[in-house]
């Protein structure tokens, strides 16, 4: 099964993707996490990606597609893509790669959240630099202030979660990523989910959708 999580920055797709992948045994592929790791490790890819990421712009399609190709081996239960594809050329590139291995996208789950909510959430977001867990003030607090519940590392604010960069990321999303809604709607793969509800409610809707895709 191959599932894509679509949604603006701050829609909760990272949080939900981790839970969904865990419950369904899917391999979770977050291009944002992969890129942040590459930057931290100072790899060639990381050095190329850093300036784009810090400005809230997209990393070039060829770098992203190369990174996905490396990881697109057969996983027993399938993949859950989080933050990929983000442009029409990436979606076309993914379709071509999947075609080569006799696979295809099964469903695209689109988390719908308003601009005001995105800005509010991202300015209150903290994440763990070690295990990538996400927290949110005031809604999703860690048990001990400033410390990750899962691995004990000190929480940090992402460099691209400042107000200026958040505004740019939202604009980039509208211009470059939102056209994917029509791309996947035209293939009858798009399922919209209201992302402005309690986390557990959203998760149960997503699980129900996944079950319907597996039928
Ligand atoms: P995210 O954690 O998904 O919000 O991604 C953080 C940043 O990584 C984005 O603002 C982009 O700069 C970059 N990025 C992540 N995924 C992609 C992608 N599929 N295409 C281009 N850039 C990406």
pLDDT, residue 169, reads 92
Separation of CA 31 and ligand 1 centre (Å): 6
What CATH number is given for 2-26+76-113+169-214 in this structure?
3.40.50.300
Residue 121 exposed, middle or buried by CB count within 10 Å (0-12, 13-18, 19+): buried
Whole-prediction pTM: 0.88
Q: 46-66: per-residue pLDDT in tens?
A: 999 999 999 999 999 999 999
Give yes or no for a cis peptide into 154 (omega within 30° of 0). Answer: no
CA of 206 to the centre of ligand 1 (A): 22
CB 36 within 8 A of CB 112: no
The pLDDT of residue 57 is 95
- Other C-beta atoms closer than 10 Å to the C-beta of 11 total 24
Q: Active-site residues: which are they?
A: 13, 86, 125, 158, 169
Q: Quick one: tokens of 76?
A: 């027993």
Nearest CA to 9 among 104, 115, 103?
115
Cα–chain-centroid distance for residue 211? 20
Contact between 45 and 38 (Cβ < 8 Å):
yes
Find out whether the beta carbon of 36 lies less than 6 Å from any atom of ligand 1.
no
Question: Could you tell me the distance, in angstroms and rounded to a whole number, from the CA of residue 18 to the centre of ligand 1?
Answer: 17
- Which atom from ligand 1 is nearest to the alpha carbon of 30? 3
Give residue 214's pLDDT: 72
DSSP 8-state class, residue 142 = -
Token code pair at residue 40: 């931290």
pLDDT of residue 215: 67
Residue identifier of the C-alpha nearest atom 14 of ligand 1: 32
Q: How far is CA 144 from CA 125, 126, 139, 141, 155, in A?
A: 16, 13, 14, 8, 10
CB atoms within 10 A of CB 75: 16
Taking 70 as the pLDDT cut, the residues of the chain under it are 74-76, 215
Query: So what's the pLDDT on residue 136?
Result: 84
């Amino acid at each position: 099964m191959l599932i894509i999580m679509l949604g603006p920055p701050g829609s909760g797709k990272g949080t939900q993707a981790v839970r969904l992948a865990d419950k369904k045994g899917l391999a979770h592929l977050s291009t944002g996490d992969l890129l942040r790791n590459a930057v931290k490790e100072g790899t060639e890819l990381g050095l190329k990606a850093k300036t784009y990421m810090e400005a809230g712009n997209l990393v070039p399609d060829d770098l992203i597609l190369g990174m996905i190709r490396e990881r697109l081996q057969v996983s027993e239960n399938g993949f859950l893509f989080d933050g990929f594809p983000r442009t029409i050329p990436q979606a076309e590139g993914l379709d071509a790669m999947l075609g080569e291995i006799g696979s295809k996208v099964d469903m695209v789950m689109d988390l719908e959240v308003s601009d005001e909510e995105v800005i509010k959430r991202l300015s209150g977001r903290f994440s763990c630099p070690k295990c990538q867990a996400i927290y949110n003030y005031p809604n999703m607090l860690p048990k001990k202030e400033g410390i990750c519940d899962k691995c004990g590392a000190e929480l940090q604010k992402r460099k691209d979660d400042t107000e200026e960069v958040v505004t740019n990321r939202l604009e980039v999303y509208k211009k470059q990523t939102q056209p994917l809604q029509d791309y996947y709607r035209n293939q009858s793969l798009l399922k919209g989910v209201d992302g402005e509800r309690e986390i557990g409610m959203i998760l149960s809707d997503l699980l129900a959708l996944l079950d319907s895709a597996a039928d």
